[in-house]
Structure 1
Amino acid sequence: MMNLMHWRLLVAVADHGSITAAAERVGMTQSAASQAMASMEIALGVQLFTREPRKTLPTALGVSVIEQARVMLSALQAIRCRVEEARPMLRGNLRIACFPQVLAKFLSPRLQRFAQLYPGIEVTTLEVTDDEVHALLDADLVDLGVVLNPEPERNPTLLGRDIWLAVVPARHALAQQVTVTLAQLLEQPFVLATGGCSVNARSLSADAGLTLRDVRAEVREWSSAFSLVREDVGVTLVPETTLPAQCQGLRVLPLSVPIHREFALVGSPNRSSSVAADALLAMLADN
């Protein structure tokens, strides 16, 4: 049976023109090398070399076999080099801060694929508010964080986007419209839902130069806002990803001028990213 040593010996004989020199090169005795060469020719059923008193030369078929042996040994070396380059990614830890809705819808499926590609990297996700994401990144307590509407200078890796939607009671006057303006919505009695995020109806109204005047209730959970709208307490403005599976009693309307939010992964502003973080970002960029 031929093994890797046989192929190395074959190439060494071709390079040195001598079984004795080749044996020394690969760390074998001269007799063991001669036996190995003979066993190779028996196994292949062909003569690979002609032996002369001072030189061992390949036959025509031997030249072809030697060329393929070089390719094989070169490929093996390339594999070893690739493994050494990748070794830092075979083990490691990666901490990511994210708010819950984005984690469930956008990030978790990608992390499942990452776990398949890099099973030795342990990923920890922290479910926090968007303000807490920035605080953790600034304090270097996480490797990556999911942020809303990231600034280009942060070199963000986009995960996804959604739009803000108006939600009104099914019998509300606005429910008869196809779209609604932000100004129309903010004029109504309002249920302010924040989802624990600093970007919400109040900040959006301020960005548009409008005022949210009549807030009847302010809640953190989106589900609570939907319940209050069903009870005709007021209207609300929510991200698309927060809509309930069942919208009975509610009318969901797009804004006449759409407002989007984007979710992206960014690294700490104070240090270079880790090897594990770079591996995740590269995977996301390829997809």
Structure 2
Amino acid sequence: MNLTQLRSLIAVAEAGSFTAAAETVGVTQSGMSQALAALEEALAVKLLVRRRHGVELTAFGEQALAHARAAFGHLEAIRREAAQTKGEETGSLRIAAFPSVYATVLPPLLRRFRALHPGVELVALETDDREVEVWLAAGSIDLGVVLNPSPERRAAPIGQDAWVGVLPAGHRFGRRGALSLGQLAAEPFVLATGGCHVHARSLMEAAGLSLCDVRMEVRDWTSAVALVREGVGVSIVPQSTLPEKLKGLRVARLDPPLWRRFGLTAAPGRKPSPIAGRFLELARSGATQAG
């Protein structure tokens, strides 16, 4: 049994899949699978069960996970105290966000922070926006990216994204520069959620409308755009998720315009750790410079 194996167990438990866990830790998927297989062989007990949509821990796996987290907590305490003795800054920062944020606005911020604080370990977790809120409330993460934060949350703004209508190139609305939600709601529709609770259906409902004819529902924005290109229907997606090549598509702004706004925040009612506070300061300074 070694620390690599224990770290792999923690990563898989949190990510729910070998692929996502391997990306978080920075190893290959096969390497992580081998590490966990070796751990199970050493213990002679099954820790994980593969399911259709991911990986789950067995009952003993849950018990082992608690010990693994405790072990890493003690190890982190040793490293932190040693660094303090030498006058160095170290520690870890756990940040959670939903997929489209990791694909757009968050990576540059992570790179800048790594350059300024190379001794801090950044743990980036990807989930849906509701789970980010759950993890924040439970104290499982230090910071989370939330969608359309209310002013009282005092979240650090890290970006925004316009919603746009996407249509097949030959659609009768294809030459219009702007479309209303009502016009799009009546069309055959491809619904994408992007791992968020705010999407075309919720936008329609907030406007007192409903989608009349949903032909396909997918999670990934890219899949929705591909289906639109094939003529399955129209869709509404964040502008940042559009492909570089728009051949076969028409894009129209919404009238009135609608936006997604991203905010970085700590758990409500909890004071951020010093490291989390520095990350928030960097995010706010970046927003100020951008403005």
| TM-score, with length taken from structure 2 | 0.67
Comparing 183-192 with 96-105, which one deviates more in the overlay? 96-105
Corresponding letter in the other structure for 1:198: H
User: Which residue pairs with 2:254 in the alignment?
Assistant: 255
Q: For the residues of structure 1 that align with 2:280 and 2:121, how far apart are their CA atoms?
A: 15
Whether the 8 Å CA contact 1:154–1:266 is kept in 2: the answer is yes
Note the 1:170-249 alignment, pairs <5 A.
Answer: 170-249=169-248
Matched, 1:148 2:150: no
**Residue 127 of structure 1: how far off its partner (Å):** 1.0
4+ runs deviating over 6 angstroms: none
Q: Give CA deviations for 1:102-135 in whole Å, capped at 9, x if unaligned.
A: 1232111111111111111111100111111111
- When residues 88 and 152 of structure 1 are mapped into structure 2, their CA distance, relative to the original with a 3 A threshold, is farther
Whether the 8 Å CA contact 1:89–1:275 is kept in 2: the answer is no
Cα RMSD (Å): 1.8
Corresponding letter in the other structure for 1:281: L
Q: For the residues of structure 2 that align with 1:116 and 1:172, how far apart are their CA atoms?
A: 48
Q: For the residues of structure 2 that align with 1:224 and 1:91, how far apart are their CA atoms?
A: 40
Q: For the residues of structure 2 that align with 1:228 and 1:178, how far apart are their CA atoms?
A: 21
Q: Give CA deviations for 1:74-125 in whole Å, capped at 9, x if unaligned.
A: xxxxxxxxxxx9x988111100001122123211111111111111111110
Counting matched residue pairs gives 203
Structure 2: tracts of 5 or more residues without a match = 1-83, 287-291
Whether the 8 Å CA contact 2:147–2:263 is kept in 1: the answer is yes
Whether the 8 Å CA contact 2:99–2:195 is kept in 1: the answer is no
Matched, 1:268 2:267: yes
Q: For the residues of structure 2 that align with 1:267 and 1:261, how far apart are their CA atoms?
A: 19
User: Which residue pairs with 1:157 in the alignment?
Assistant: 156
Corresponding letter in the other structure for 1:263: F
Q: For the residues of structure 1 that align with 2:145 and 2:153, how far apart are their CA atoms?
A: 12
Q: Give CA deviations for 1:168-225 in whole Å, capped at 9, x if unaligned.
A: 0000001021211111011101110111110000000011111112111111111111
Whether the 8 Å CA contact 1:154–1:267 is kept in 2: the answer is no
SS at match of 1:183: helix
Percent identity of the aligned residues?
49
- When residues 153 and 174 of structure 1 are mapped into structure 2, their CA distance, relative to the original with a 3 A threshold, is same
Quick check: which has more Rg, 1 or 2?
1
